[in-house]
Structure 1
Amino acid sequence: MIETTSITTRPGLTFTTDVAGPAGGTLVLLLHGFPESRHSWRAALPSLAAAGYRAVAPDQRGYSAGARPDPADLSNYAFDRLVGDAIDIADAAGGAGKRFHLVGHDWGGQVSWGVADKVPERLASLTILSRPHPMSFRRALLKEDGDQKHRSRHHRAFLEPQTGPMLLADNARRLRDGLFGQGVPQSALDEHLAVLGNPAAMEAALAWYRANKGLAADIDAIKVPTLYVWGDADATVGADAARGTAEFVDAAFAMDVLPGIGHFVMDQAPARVTELMLAHIRRCPV
């Protein structure tokens, strides 16, 4: 059974969070991407709970109404603060001083790479969905003859002040038909937009991009056992960036490619991704 609760980490930071599983179970922290929400993990939480884990999936900084510092001050959304949130949420959810499993998709994956770089000793395993290692992504982005620049062209648009209203206009048509137009079910779109589909949340979510232009992050080779899952129909992450990720993990590494699946793997292939995630976590006991 999934319970929606609140987790407070610091004054002014209270995160709306879905939790499932025994309170004493090993923590699995799951971090969503853009333009999604904690509802990304609707299929994973019951399976993790049934396996005895304590699964915790927050709406992240800016997505949670209770954890939404002013997006006009971009320092509120600097990468180190996003990474710090993940560690603080793990501690507040019962993992203080303990090792835990970390799962992240898209921007949540970027944050997860940062957590693994900063506190590798805290992680028993790392599962990344869609988002390549930042150094592999940067290398692909800088290739003159590569296609990653074209795939990432929407990042530039996200920096413009008119983007938030444009994305929400006409019942969020551009989000529904554009970013989400990769086989994501209508029910999933509605769940995510129930969190993100208002001006305050959208501006805060876009502040992640504005405060961290180009998704730049100086992250070393990862020393945590890592599973990387990528759909080969991903419109925003190309094969070059995805397959190069293996070079930046100095620990046990596995990559699973999902044929015909796009960027939003948990919305498009939830059963398969949950199966892969759970198998990896089980291989890496705390």
Structure 2
Amino acid sequence: MSQQTVDVTHRIVSAPAGRIHLVEQGAGPLVLLVHGFPESWYSWRRQLPVLAEAGYRAVAVDVRGYGRSSKPDATDAYRMLELVEDNAAVVRALGERRAVIVGHDWGATIAAHSALVRPDVFRAVGLLSVPYAPPGGPRPSEVFARMSGGGGDEFYVSYFQEPGRAEAEIEPDVRGWLAGFYAALSADTMPRPGAPDPHFVGRGGTLRARFPAGPLPAWLSEKDLAVYAEEFERTGMTGPLNRYRNMDRDWEDLADFEGAPITQPSLFIGGGLDASTTWMADAIKAYPATLPGLVSSHVLEGCGHWIQQERPAEINRLLTDWLASLPS
């Protein structure tokens, strides 16, 4: 049996969500790992043993609505402040007072707001793929409604807003949809420049219509895909999609934090081929004001969106170097 298998512990802890499932490895200062859409704790499988070996207590959660964590029925139960309090509750349930928090994709945004709203709990924050942009500005639904890929195309975030609409596309073939979605945003399988953008839905169409057909990305084995697919086949997609359906509520809830910087020590790592990095280039440029505690910032050339899975060795090195630089 491998060292990784021996040391990994699954547990359920109490949180405002009801219960949060987490996977833990190692001992030392707590590092909380938060996944994005459409993933699970499993997206940190290549970080957990490395962080543990480096002397940290690495804990990857299933975010509310995913995996073995609770899935509240109410759409507004997935607002950002609820997820922040889930994270704080996990820290307490593990017998700790403070933690470093690291997130990818939606997890990066959840991690950033956890650090912003609960600096008493989260002493440092690492952001993967999605840059920090302070609360405020125009109402999100209005911004996304104005975004268009041309010819009446609809931005995917707008497409996700209506309950049941995206579920009707995804749930009849979860495995096939996930394979296409992962491929669409991976460096080695994403559509070539000039192809229809998979972040947009054509009039009367589906997101899947623009996913690439062909092999899985190099980082994603059939076994890995099965782990993800089996979870979403069991739980459905409504909980994960409800995160997108709360962006206007978040805008209202976080009004008191408009323009607020995150002052704790921070790290950003993005993919050079990731739309999240390119679309939010202005947010990265604003880091001297918005992340004054930034320790290091990196854009990995030739890397797509799923960076800790596409480039695990590089991400692990950057994470452990950054963690080692933090005050004890």
Coarse TM-score class (shorter-chain normalised):
0.7 to 0.9
Show the 5 A alignment for 1:1-286.
1=4, 2-10=7-15, 13-22=18-27, 25-70=28-73, 73-95=74-96, 98-135=97-134, 153-160=155-162, 161-181=164-184, 182=186, 183=188, 184=217, 185-187=219-221, 188-198=224-234, 200-213=235-248, 216=251, 218=255, 219=257, 220-238=260-278, 239-246=280-287, 247-286=289-328
Deviation readout 1:136-195 (Å, 9 max, x if unpaired): 9968x89x9xx9765992111111322113123334323321354314433233332232
Give me the whole-angstrom Cα distance separating, in 2, the residues matched to 1:170 and 1:93. Answer: 37
Deviation readout 1:211-266 (Å, 9 max, x if unpaired): 22497455410011110000010034425245235131122342101001111111
Q: Given the superposition, is the C-alpha separation of residues 66 and 33 from structure 1 closer, same or farther in structure 2, using an over 3 Å criterion?
A: closer
The alignment's TM-score, normalised by the length of structure 2, stands at 0.75
Corresponding residue SS for 1:67: coil
Over aligned residue pairs, what C-alpha RMSD do you find?
2.9
Q: Given the superposition, is the C-alpha separation of residues 178 and 109 from structure 1 closer, same or farther in structure 2, using an over 3 Å criterion?
A: same
Q: Given the superposition, is the C-alpha separation of residues 20 and 137 from structure 1 closer, same or farther in structure 2, using an over 3 Å criterion?
A: farther
User: Higher mean Cα deviation, 61-70 or 224-233?
Assistant: 61-70
Give me the whole-angstrom Cα distance separating, in 1, the residues matched to 2:123 and 2:53. Answer: 19
Letter in 1 for 2:12: I
Letter in 2 for 1:91: R
Q: Given the superposition, is the C-alpha separation of residues 157 and 214 from structure 1 closer, same or farther in structure 2, using an over 3 Å criterion?
A: farther
More helix by share: 1
Bigger CA radius of gyration: 2
Question: Which residues of structure 2 form unaligned runs of 5+?
Answer: 189-216
Question: Which residues of structure 1 form unaligned runs of 5+?
Answer: none
Q: Given the superposition, is the C-alpha separation of residues 123 and 66 from structure 1 closer, same or farther in structure 2, using an over 3 Å criterion?
A: closer
Q: Given the superposition, is the C-alpha separation of residues 39 and 55 from structure 1 closer, same or farther in structure 2, using an over 3 Å criterion?
A: same
Give the share of equivalent positions with the same residue, in percent: 29
Please tell me whether the aligned partners of residues 65 and 201 of structure 1 are also in contact (alpha carbons under 8 angstroms): no
Alignment length (residue pairs): 276
Corresponding residue SS for 1:17: strand
Give me the whole-angstrom Cα distance separating, in 1, the residues matched to 2:154 and 2:98. Answer: 34
The offset of 1:65, in angstroms, is 3.4
Give me the whole-angstrom Cα distance separating, in 2, the residues matched to 1:11 and 1:249. Answer: 28
Letter in 2 for 1:135: P
